[in-house]
Amino acid sequence: MSATVAPGEPPARRSASTVAWSLPARAIATFSGTPGLVLKLVLLGLLNALSLWAATILARDGHWVAVGVLAAVTLAVDAIYLSSRRAVPLKFLIPGTLFLVAFQLVPIAYNVNIAFTNWSTGHQLTKVEAIDGIKRNSLAPPEDGRTYTMAAARDADGELVLVLVDEATGDPFVGTRDGLRPLPEGSVALDEMGLVQRAEGYRLLRGQELVAADPALQSYVVPTGDAAIRPEGLELAVELAPTLVYDAEADTFTRKENGVVFRDNGRGSFVAASGEELEPGWRTNVGAHNFRRVAADPLIRAPFVRVFIWTIAFATLTVLLSFALGLFLAIALDRKGMRFLRTYRSLLVIPYAVPAFLSLLVWQGLLNDDFGVVNRVLHLDVPWLFDANWAKASIVLVSLWLTFPYFFLISLGALQSIPAELVEAARVDGAGPLQVFRKITLPLLLIAVAPLLIASFAFNFNNFGNIYFLTGGGPASNDQDVAGATDILISYTYKLAFEAGKGQDFGLASAISIAIFFIVGTISVVSFWRTRALENVR
């Protein structure tokens, strides 16, 4: 590949041009032929090794469908990149497609799946794990229960066991997950504090090894017929008896004391007729239950409607005020010959250049009631962040500060693209400044800016950062504890996921996030449809 040089071009320029044009050709040639094939094989080898490692882990956990999909994708990638030139378009499409699927489609599908489950605090286990957990939680000391001096140890096979000494009789035992077994008399020695000092045939755990075994000890249970022995700390074990009996055939728990029966309610819990619920529960599919809760549960529906109205108001006010201020400043600075014009424009872009979360944290301090600079300098006593109405005003004003430079830049660019001949012709026809702006400038400006206004509305509809970093959704509202006075839908969803009820409710939060998606999508579609004329479609 050679560069084309004009016949009359000087030799020096011709040489420099030849070198400049040959660099891309040399780079392409370097990775062509055998070097390129070797590089391709190395990269495909790394990809296959990574896929093999992932497939091994997935197979170990029993995710065979995922293993099949991974194998099919890996083989397809190998076939495409080792094929002939006919697959060149696919070679460029595959990387972007894989990232699209991995970082967009898979999270969306996962979120939709969670919305139809009861995944929340107390419902994070499988049913088998939940039944075992209920059995462990139902253990309580019986009236004639025994207590044991305990020491964690390892047997000859390295398995974790409990060396036990009955505090009433002094008899030694060893407890395993299979049961309790007596030890020969004198095989266990106690120190002057009454703690196990030595056990023949067993290595007692000390120091860091004992600390490392603590998580295993917390769930360690030694069965003893109808009862069980469980560690209470690192030096004491107690005999416990179950207060609930599980009937595997009927799939019910029965309380020994009063005969109350707990049945599977179909939503991941064992529940009695009185409504009493056993914990923990388990993850299960609940259909549209989470969506019905949004519509039927007054504790969720009432704040949802209030938060939805405020979200619309917040997004609308932020976009309209920011656009109005940005356009005003763009018109004011769209003048040739003004002194310090570049300085003025640069200063107006500063709020846009500073990271938003830093600006929000700074404004949080500036608007503080007691020591905030705004109240002190202006000699005011305004509860900017602690009164519901003032907090909403603060959020809108701070959002205006963060957003107007964006609209200033795009409005300035759009104004400079409007033909000056149109404005001059309108002025010749006798149009005043307001008429020129309303009849010519604004319609032509909206052709370029209207799609950006819609996109900005969608962004502010889910502007979690402005709410979280400035007010945290507060101040608290009077109707309930979850949604604060300034929470928008996305921050309300966050609180439902991590702070509501028992602590976490991922299923309900995912259902609301789906509702938010359809709300924003509907508003965006309608807005684009209504502004087709402004987008110069017709």
Q: What integer is the mean pLDDT of 270-282?
A: 93
Question: Domain ends where: 228, 259, 282?
Answer: 282
Q: Which domain CATH number covers 73?
A: 1.20.58
- pLDDT tens figures, 292-337: 988 888 878 888 889 999 999 999 999 999 999 999 999 998 877 7
Q: Are residues 97 and 237 in the same domain?
A: no
Q: Are residues 323 and 349 in the same domain?
A: yes
Q: What's the structural domain count of the chain?
A: 4
The confidence score (pLDDT) of residue 537 equals 46
List the domain range (segments joined by +) for residue 153. 141-242
Tokens of 296: 């039927």
Q: What integer is the mean pLDDT of 348-355?
A: 87
Q: Are residues 366 and 450 in the same domain?
A: yes
Q: Are residues 181 and 92 in the same domain?
A: no
The DSSP H or E segment spanning 213 is: none
The confidence score (pLDDT) of residue 538 equals 43
Of residues 267 and 5, which shows the higher confidence score?
Answer: 267
How far apart are the C-alpha atoms of 512 and 474, rounded to whole Å? 20
Tokens of 23: 């660099």
Residue 9, domain member (yes or no): no
- pLDDT tens figures, 136-195: 888 888 887 889 999 999 998 999 999 999 998 999 999 999 999 999 988 999 988 889
Q: Are residues 188 and 219 in the same domain?
A: yes
Q: What integer is the mean pLDDT of 462-480?
A: 86
Q: Are residues 307 and 449 in the same domain?
A: yes
Has this prediction a pTM greater than 0.95?
no
- pLDDT tens figures, 408-435: 999 998 888 888 888 888 888 888 888 8
Q: Are residues 130 and 262 in the same domain?
A: yes
Task: Report the range of poorest mean pLDDT among 4-8, 375-379, 499-503.
Answer: 4-8
The confidence score (pLDDT) of residue 1 equals 43
Q: Are residues 360 and 423 in the same domain?
A: yes
Q: Are residues 187 and 332 in the same domain?
A: no
Task: Write down the residue that tokens 């006798």 correspond to.
Answer: 430
The confidence score (pLDDT) of residue 424 equals 85
User: Residue 108 above 50 pLDDT?
Assistant: yes
Q: SS3 of 228, please?
A: strand
- What residues form DSSP beta bridges with 127? none
The confidence score (pLDDT) of residue 344 equals 87
Q: SS3 of 431, please?
A: coil
How far apart are the C-alpha atoms of 234 and 211, rounded to whole Å? 9
Q: What integer is the mean pLDDT of 478-485?
A: 74
The confidence score (pLDDT) of residue 481 equals 63
Most confident of 29-33, 368-372, 397-401, 474-478: 397-401
Residue 160, domain member (yes or no): yes
Q: Which residues contact 14 (CB under 8 A, 6 or more apart)?
A: 5
Tokens of 535: 């987008």
Q: Which domain CATH number covers 205?
A: 2.40.430.10
The confidence score (pLDDT) of residue 416 equals 87
Residue 199, domain member (yes or no): yes
Residue 81, domain member (yes or no): yes
How far apart are the C-alpha atoms of 525 and 254, rounded to whole Å? 55
User: Residue 253 above 90 pLDDT?
Assistant: yes
Q: Are residues 273 and 159 in the same domain?
A: no
How far apart are the C-alpha atoms of 22 and 27, rounded to whole Å? 9
The DSSP H or E segment spanning 349 is: helix 341-353
Residue 8, domain member (yes or no): no
Q: Are residues 204 and 266 in the same domain?
A: no
Question: Confidence band (pLDDT; 50, 70, 90) for 446?
Answer: confident
The confidence score (pLDDT) of residue 534 equals 44
DSSP-derived secondary structure for 239-292: EEEESEEEETTTTEEEETTT--EEEE-SSS-EE-TTS-B-S--B--B-TTHHHH
Task: Write down the residue that tokens 């504890």 correspond to.
Answer: 481
Q: Are residues 367 and 490 in the same domain?
A: yes
Question: Domain ends where: 180, 212, 242?
Answer: 242
User: Residue 5 above 90 pLDDT?
Assistant: no
